[in-house]
Amino acid sequence: MQSDDTIVKERATVLCRRGDRILLVARLHARWALPGGRPKPGESLSDAARRELAEETGLVCRNLRYLFRAAGKHKLHHVFLADLDAHAIARPSREIAHCAWFDRLAIASIDCSNPTPAIVELALDMTRIAPPVTFMIHVEAA
């Protein structure tokens, strides 16, 4: 049996971008993070990514592209790039209190979840340089 210290939860994490601006969400009195969440039993990671994005922001993505997975201490992030309508507006809903677009350079200096800056930088670098390649990085999470 695993202790709570060794349980790793899978999470579908969604990167939404407009140029160098990235969409982050936050619950009330919580740090900023990329939209996403855990898949329901029997749900694929891509379906979970689409569902979580819609539930948290009201956004519906036209296309979703798997980029990579990033391992933290307690979470395994499966990172997807969402293709959104250029005029789509993110609105917080359900447990999310705030949605905002941040310049990629500002993300390192705001109060956000530990893996968020590393995931954003790697995802943006990957999408600028080459088509997606599946690999894994390790990020420390609090």
- CATH number of this structure's domain 9-138: 3.90.79.10
DSSP states of 109-133 as a string?
GSSB-TTHHHHHHHHHHHHHHSS--
Q: Are 35 and 100 in contact (CB under 8 A)?
A: no
What's the one-letter identity of residue 16? C
Q: Are 131 and 68 in contact (CB under 8 A)?
A: no
What is the arithmetic mean of pLDDT over 1-18?
78
Residue carrying structure tokens 């971008």: 17
Helices (H) and strands (E) in the chain, counts: 2, 7
Angle at 75 between CA 30 and CA 53, to 5 degrees: 60
Position 18 scores a pLDDT of: 85
Which pLDDT tens digit goes with each residue over 69-97? 998 788 999 999 998 888 889 999 988 99
Position 1 scores a pLDDT of: 43
Position 50 scores a pLDDT of: 96
How is the chain split into domains, by residue range?
9-138
